[in-house]
Structure formats: structure tokens, C-alpha cells
Structure 1
Amino acid sequence: MSDHITQARPYARAAFELAREDSTLDGWSAMLAEAARLTADERVDMLLKDPRRTPKQKGEAFIELLGDLLPERGANFLMVLARQQRLPALASMSTLFETERAAFEQRVSVEIISAFELDEAQKDKLAQALTKRLNREITITTSVDKTLLGGVVIRAGDTVIDGSARGRLARLSSVLNH
């Protein structure tokens, strides 16, 4: 997978720039997401690994599979990927594209893990505080982890804020043992 990320990075950036220039971010997001889903399909994986098929045939097959989801320059993009034998990296390209898009649109997905179910008022209060702190539009997902004992753990991109009782106890233990 990390190899695919390395291969995918320049193509994801190029796709993002094309989408931004054409104001077709939604179309490119949809195409790349579907292409990522397709590469996970066993039959498509067999097609990509088939040595009897030329890169052109593989690219044309992807174009046909994606059909109406292709933005204006999407078919050309897929043919370049096929020639460079980068179609298997489409899932990584989709992920990297969405990361670029979120940064451009100043959005971030925030995961809030709490010891107990949060009510709407608590979610709203956390959303307002995080929007202000991160200076970005946020999308919140919540989950419950009873092992936290109390408090919350917040994950926003690479940032983790551990305000859980378990986390505080672990930090206290670390301080006391050193």
C-alpha cells in the first residue's frame, strides 16, 4: 500500500489541479471513489494483472466501467495511468485527492470517541469549539468506547487530543514512574 501511495501522489495532485481548474471537484471525487471501489473488485484486479491485455485495453476497460462518471478530462487521465501502469494505485489516488480537496476547501473530518453516547447539545458544543480551534469547516463522526472510562478522544487529521480518563491516568502513571 505505501508503494501505491508513493506512485499515486503525483497523479493525485495532477488530478486535483485538473479538477480545480475545471471547477469539477465533485465529478473527480466521484470518479476516483468509484475507480477505487473497482480496483478492490477481484474481477477488475484480474483484469489489471492480465499480461495478455495491453495497457491501452486496460485503460479502455476502466473508461467503459466508469461510463457517465468520467469528468471531461477523466478518460485522458485514465489512459495516462494505464500507459504508466498506475491503475492499481487508483485507491490511493482517491484518498490523496480527497486529502488535497479537504485542505483546499478548508475542511477536516473529526472523529470523537467518547466513553458514553454524546447528546446533540454536547456534539454542537464540541463542533463549535473545534471549528474555532482548527479554523476549518468540520465534519464530525462519533463513536463510543467504554474502555475510556470518561472524557473524549478527538482525532482531526494528524492531531489527536486525548481528554479521556484513561489517557489522563496513563500520563499520570508515566510521570510518577519517571
Structure 2
Amino acid sequence: MSDNVTQARPYARAAFELARENDSLDAWSAMLAEAARLTADERVHRLIHDPRRAARDKGNTLVELLGELVPERGANFLMVLARQQRLDALAAMSELFEAEREAHEQRISVEIISAYPLDQAQQDKLAQALEKRLNREITITTSVDETLLGGVVIRAGDTVIDGSARGRLNRLASLLNH
């Protein structure tokens, strides 16, 4: 996937700039997300890797499958991807596009992993604290990992805050071993 990310980055930025200039971030988000989902489908995957099919046919097929989801200039974008043999990087492009969009809109997605399920009051309290700390609007997803023993691990972009009991024990063990 890291190779796909490297290949996808300039295209994701270009898509974001096109969407921003045309005030169509929602439409481009939807198109890229659905294109990523489609290219993960085994049948579509085979189609975009079929050496017998011309790049134009691959691009046109994807545009047809996406139908109404293709915004202005979206078809041209997909055709460029097909010509450059980058259709298989659409999943990475979609993720990078969303990261650009979140930064532009001063939003961030935060994943909270806890040892036990969090109730709504706990989630709200964490969201308020994170909004203050990160100075952004927060979107939270939660999951449970019983191996944490207690506490939470928070992932916000490149930032990881490990407040779990397991993390504290690992840090203590590391200190004792040095």
C-alpha cells in the first residue's frame, strides 16, 4: 500500500484542488470513495488489470459504473488515471483526499480504543478535551481492545496518545531495563 500512497499523493492533491476550486468537495469525496470500493471488487479489479483492454475502455467503464456520482471534470480525472495506470491507487487517493479535506475544514477523525465500551458521556468528555487540545472539530470512532487492561489509546492523524494500562506497563518495563 505504501507504493500506492506514493503514487496516489499527487493525484489526490490534484483532485482536492479541483474539488475546492469548483466548490464540490462532497461530490468528489463520494466519487472517490465509491471508485475505491468498486476497484476493490474482484471483477472490476480484473478489468482494470486486463492487458487486452485499452486504458480508454477501462476509464470509460469506471465512469459508467460510477454514473451520477461523477462530478464536473471527474470523468477527465478518471481517464487520466486510466492512461497513467493508476486506477488501482484509488483507495489510497480517497484516503488522502479525505485527509486533505479534514485539514482544510479544520476537522480531524479520532479513533479511541478502550479496554471497555465507553458510554456517551465519556465519549463527549473526551471529544471536548480533544477539540480544545487539537483546536479542530472532532469526529470520533470507538472500539474495544480488552488487551489494554484499562485506559484508552487515542489516534488522531499522526498523533497517538497511549493512556492505556498496557502502555504504561510497557513504558515502566522499558525504564527498568535501561
Short-chain TM bin: over 0.9
Secondary structure of 2:118's match? coil
Cα offset, 1:136, TM superposition: 0.7
Is residue 2:71 matched to residue 1:71? Answer: yes
Q: Distance in 2 between matches of 1:98 and 1:126?
A: 23
Structure 1 stretch 107-116 or stretch 10-19: which is displaced more? 107-116
Cα offset, 1:144, TM superposition: 1.7
Cα offset, 1:62, TM superposition: 0.9
- Aligned counterparts, 1:1-178, within 5 A: 1-178=1-178
Question: Identity of counterpart residues, as a percentage?
Answer: 80
Structure 1 unaligned runs (5+)? none
Deviations 1:47-76 (A, max 9, x none): 112122111111111111111000011011
Q: Once superposed, which parts of structure 1, at least 4 consecutive aligned residues long, lie more than 4 Å away? A: none
Cα offset, 1:38, TM superposition: 0.8
Aligned length: 178
Write the letter of the residue equivalent to 1:29.
S
Cα offset, 1:40, TM superposition: 0.6
Cα offset, 1:145, TM superposition: 1.8
Q: Distance in 2 between matches of 1:166 and 1:95?
A: 30
Structure 2 unaligned runs (5+)? none
Q: Tell me how large the CA RMSD over aligned residues is.
A: 1.1
Q: TM-score, normalised by structure 2?
A: 0.96
Deviations 1:125-161 (A, max 9, x none): 1110000001111111112222222211111111111
Q: TM-score, normalised by structure 1?
A: 0.96
